[in-house]
Structures are given as structure tokens and as C-alpha cells.
Structure 1
Amino acid sequence: MPRYYFHIFSDDVECPDRKGEPHDDDAQAIAMARRIVSEIAEEPEHREIEVKVVGRKGRAVATVDINGLK
């Protein structure tokens, strides 16, 4: 099962995901990124949030913000 990394960006703060987690495919990883965004965006100070999903060998899969895929 491939490992995906979820790097979080909010305003000037970057939180790189160094551990990652396994998901069956890109679609599952993107769904996880959407959950991360929705949970963090519940806090008013974190409305401007993005989660960059990165797969194997640093391959960018997607970037998700409060509006969905970018």
C-alpha cells in the first residue's frame, strides 16, 4: 500500500508531514486531505488552509483547500 504525505500550509505556517500514512490510492489520500482541511478549518484562525498531498518519490498528487481541489 503506497504511503502518502499531507503537508499543511496555513498563512505563514508550514507543517511538513515527515511520517505519512498508507492509503490504497490517490482518491483515498485526497479524501483524507479533505477531512484534514475540514477539521482544521473549523477554527476561525485557520480558514486559509491548504493540504498538499504527496505520494511516492515526492510526486504531487493534489492540493486541497477549503473550496476543494486546487
Structure 2
Amino acid sequence: MAEVLVLVEHSEGAVKKVTAELITAARALGEPAAVVIGAPGTAAPLVDALKEAGAAKIYVAESDDAE
């Protein structure tokens, strides 16, 4: 099954609704994987919501240069 990457939109430690909608749509195409980009510590508060939305994997790219 193909992996479908979904770029996570988030604000103030919460996943935006559109991300959950895209993860749901991605299931029709393959295995949904979330991609979180942000400053260090950005991904930690988002993990549970992304798993609940159906992300099979979560890729994280954190850097002080992000934002």
C-alpha cells in the first residue's frame, strides 16, 4: 500500500481541522502519514491528535530556523 504524506497545519499546539480531514481522505489512497514541521517541541503536543485522526506514521522536522 502506498504511503500518503499529509503536511500538518497546526496553531498554538493544536492540529487544525483541515489536517484531520486530509488524513481521512488520504486513507482512500493509501497509508496516511503526517509530516510536522516547526520549532523544537512542536510535534509532541500534536502526536495524540494525529494518531486519533488516523495517521499511521508521524514524521517530524524540527529546527530553530523553522517558523
Shared fold, TM over 0.5? no
Q: Which has the higher strand share?
A: 1
- TM-score after normalising by structure 1: 0.38
* TM-score computed with the length of structure 2 as normaliser: 0.38
